Chains A and B, each alone.
Chain A
Amino acid sequence: MGERNARGKAIGLVHRLVTFGFRLLPLATCLVPLVLSGCGLASFNRLSVNDPIKQEDVAFIEPGHTTFTQVVAKLGTPDEIIPLGDDEGVVAFYHFLDAKYTRINYGWPLQLVSPVPVDMILAGGGLGTNMFLVMFDRQWIAKQQSFAKHMLASRHRLWPFKDN
């Protein structure tokens, strides 16, 4: 009889503990993200300098006609003006840049089961610097324009071992 009572008490205690544990389950579920946050599986980052200038934005420039003032009115002030030799005019540079970087920690899911942190990080990205150049003559009339095309270099790279 005494054994039965002791067993019954033990079962009751286990039942209470399990019930209590289940009650805490939502709280534990919420606490786990707090502990794990900040050590993400993947991160995507980007750096942009100035707004990109597109081909259609510069279609208005007509060599021999468009003035420096008109170019500035449409595209804003250039980032740099470089004089050409012998007072033959200037080149106005518009710089813009776009860099993308991706980092994935493939070992991150193992921290859920492993007592020590496991990192297997693959990261990659690209830096796309671009420039738009307009050459002006001595009278500040546009002579020539062109893009330096490197913008495609900017992309998120999930697998860093590819050739391109």
Chain B
Amino acid sequence: MQGTITTRGLIVTVCMLCLCLSVLNGCSFNRGTVGDELKQENVDAIKKGVSTRTEVVTALGAPDRIIQANGHEIFQYYRYDIKAKGLFLLILNFSRINIKSDDLYIFLDKNGVVDEVVLGKRTDRLEFQFWPFGD
């Protein structure tokens, strides 16, 4: 009698394990980034009306893009963050890739001194999602 209960228990355990595996085996998480993180302390080190072009480049490296506009030289730094999640079930598969960017613009005046610093961070709101419908 005891042996029968043990066999049944074993079968139930194996079945539960297989069910768990069938649910978990189709899950994937992926992550990728483009460019270095724009650290707040590096940005804070740049002072408006004080820091020069050289100091900016020393602190942040060479800009990804240089724009000449409205009497300013604008240095643009950007970073992209990518999060992808997939749920691969028996019949249905769902996957979603979300990409967001951080951008830093440094406006330099004609003398090469920082006139304005504009940092926008979107990547801190980036999420892993698998549901591809809705907003």
Q: Enumerate chain A interface residues (CB-CB to B < 8 A).
A: 23-24, 26-27, 30-31, 33-34, 36-38, 40-52, 69, 72, 76-79, 81-84, 87, 89-90, 100, 108, 136, 138-140, 156
Contacts and interface: CB of A to CB of B under 8 A. Distances in A.
Given A40-B93, A87-B70, A46 B22 contact: no
Contacts of A72: 118, 120
Contacts of A87: 69-71
A37 B28 CA distance: 14
Contacts of A140: 70
A46 B70 contact: no
Nearest to A97: B99
Nearest to A40: B93
Contacts of A47: 96-97, 99
Contact of A30 (B15, B95, B122, B135): B15
B11 interface: yes
A82 B105 CA distance: 13
A43 B95 contact: yes
Nearest to B74: A81
B26 A23 contact: no
Contact of A79 (B70, B94, B101, B116): B101
Contacts of B25: 34, 37-38
A113 B96 CA distance: 32
Contacts of A136: 70
A105 to B, nearest CB: 10
B59 interface: no
B105 A81 contact: yes
Contacts of A52: 135
B45 interface: no
10 contacts: A37-B88, A37-B89, A41-B91, A42-B92, A50-B100, A51-B100, A77-B103, A77-B120, A81-B69, A83-B70
B90 interface: yes
A45 B70 contact: no
